[in-house]
Amino acid sequence: MGKSASAMSVISAIRAARRPGLGFVLIGLFWGAFAAQVPTLKSGIGASDALFGVLLLGTGIGLVSAMLLAPAFDRIAGGRALQASAVVFGLSFVPLALAQTPAQFFAALLAVGLASGLTDILINARTSELEAASGRPLMNAVHGVFSASYAVSAVLTGFAREAGWSPLDIFSCVTVAALALSLGLAIPPAGSAEGDRGAGRFPWAPVAVCGAIVFVAFLSEATVESWSALHVERTLGGSAAEGAFGPATLGLTMAFGRFAGQAVSDRFSEIGVILTGASLAAAGALTAAAAPTPAVAYLGFGTLGLGVSVVGPIGLAIAGRAVPPVHRTRAISVAAVMGFSGFFAAPGLMGVVSEFHGLRAAFASVALLALALWPLAAAVRRQGS
């Protein structure tokens, strides 16, 4: 009975947020395909670990730029804003596959980061508006959809690599899927920006704390997304398909954790969930760092994914609730891009530590970062969120 009710809760939430949910599918498809191709993309441009980590900063720069553009773009483009950003995002995949030099790869990632960030901010803003209108939590459900799409994409990409598909072949397929999904993303924002002047000053303090929580969660997630395949293939001697199961394991466990978090969101405190998630993430990072075989590494990736799965959505949900409606897109934008900065920081952190101390030490360092969620959760509690 309880399990049936939980499943119905998740299904109901997905249905309620089905339109922005298409955007989460789109983003999951791309990043799953990207993560599973990191070894191929890295070798294709002849980059070292440290250089590849620096090049991945292009994504972060694009994501931060999206924070500056999103509120104004949302006001100007209205109901077509999300659809337009999704189309541009889909068209940015092929140049990434065609890059042959580090400079070209960096430029392609810059475009991908900007379009991905803009799309991500807008789908989270639309979901937050649906939460406010319906009075029910929806963030974990749609982020679970992202994780499931990410996992499926990573697995299929691994098999495609084994079958000899090139990055161009794979990203071309993802582009077609992205353009098809964008057809359903013409979603008008709730309300208007007319009341901005009477809304009072933007409440930076609670939004900044929420953004820091999302940052740590996304940084921990990004380490597995971008480096797990390389860890399995290089450190542990796995095949291309085995390497792809690193990010796929992350996606599957994060999907499970987020769907479970949606089902039990009314039974447990958000602070308790964050604290538990931080502990699990730290344990998972240490397991992956010490893994003697790919199977043990998958256990570590999965535990880390389960731990951080609900932390990011909770941080975004709190940020959306902490501000007046007219500030919601801006609040989601700030919190989300602070979170995206985790993807910005992770490549440099992992690349530099890996270059000098190896990937085992790099994953071990993530455990310390995950534990930073404890004081941040305490700060949210003090603010009364």
Digit-coded pLDDT (tens) for 160-187: 998 999 999 999 999 999 999 999 998 8
Residue 310 has pLDDT above 80, yes or no: yes
Predicted local confidence at residue 109, as pLDDT = 94
- pLDDT (average), residues 195-206: 70
Predicted local confidence at residue 384, as pLDDT = 64
Average pLDDT of the chain, as a whole number: 86
- pLDDT (average), residues 176-201: 75
Predicted local confidence at residue 123, as pLDDT = 93
Delimit the domains of the chain by residue range: 2-187+204-382
Residue 199 has pLDDT above 80, yes or no: no
pLDDT digits (tens, 9 = 90+) for 125-166: 899 888 888 878 888 888 889 888 988 898 899 899 989 999
pLDDT digits (tens, 9 = 90+) for 13-46: 888 888 999 999 999 999 989 988 888 998 899 9
Kindly state the percentage of the chain with pLDDT values over 70. 94
Residue 195 banded pLDDT, cuts 50, 70, 90: very low
Predicted local confidence at residue 266, as pLDDT = 59
Residues 6+ apart with CB under 8 A from 16: 130, 134, 136, 138
Homologous superfamily of domain range 2-187+204-382: MFS general substrate transporter like domains (1.20.1250.20)
Predicted local confidence at residue 83, as pLDDT = 94
pLDDT digits (tens, 9 = 90+) for 258-292: 888 777 665 778 888 889 999 999 999 999 999 99
- pLDDT (average), residues 178-207: 76
- pLDDT (average), residues 325-339: 85
